[in-house]
Amino acid sequence: MSRSTVFLATCFAVSFALTACESGGEARDAQQTRNTTAPAASATTTGPGSSPAEWVNGFCGAVNGFVARQDEMPDPTGGNTIGEHQRQTGELLDHFVTTLDEAIAALDALDQPPDSTAETAARTTRDNYAAARETAATAKEELEAAAPDDVEAQNRAADGVIESQEQAHRSIDPVGVLTGSPELIKAAADAPNCK
């Protein structure tokens, strides 16, 4: 889970002061030292009759690709008006919705799961991403409909950022959800997208 993103969203919900949000810079800088290169989109798809190794590589690509893209969320810079905070929160929500759309599409492109553990992992992950997308999209729509000086609307939108992240972050460990299948765990050890 990207702590810096949650911290920034919390800054929006708690205070509109520019200096308050600037204190998250150290955490954000530390987070940016991680490798955030998303796996290639083609690596997340598997063809008919794919092996467990191919499926696991695709599954890990979808999940780890989501995590990498989320770490590329826009950095809020603060602002002197509620309207500016609303604009920046809207950008966060828009990026998150797009990132979730990409992750869901990558999961949908996977071949049939090779066993019941894989089936449960894929379904649960997709359900969590879909719920997070719905939360973020609803928060964005409500924010766009609000007046530019509506503090309560801004706070609700910031809460939407946090809630949608919490929903999605239930599924950010692609290998951990495969522990019920020794064959899949073995395949994950050699899968490039699971590293």
What's the distance, CA 130 to chain centroid? 11
Q: 131 or 35, which is more confident?
A: 131
**What is the reported pLDDT for 83?**
85
85-102 confidence digits (pLDDT tens):
888 899 999 999 999 999
Q: 19 or 97, which is more confident?
A: 97
Residue 158 burial (CB count, 10 A): 25
Q: 111 or 18, which is more confident?
A: 111
29-88 confidence digits (pLDDT tens):
333 333 333 333 333 344 444 699 999 999 999 999 999 998 888 877 777 788 888 888
Residue 193 has pLDDT above 70, yes or no: yes
pTM score, whole prediction: 0.75
Residue 190 has pLDDT above 90, yes or no: yes
Q: What is the DSSP string of 84-141?
A: HHHHHHHHHHHHHHHHHHHHHHHHHTS---SSHHHHHHHHHHHHHHHHHHHHHHHHHH
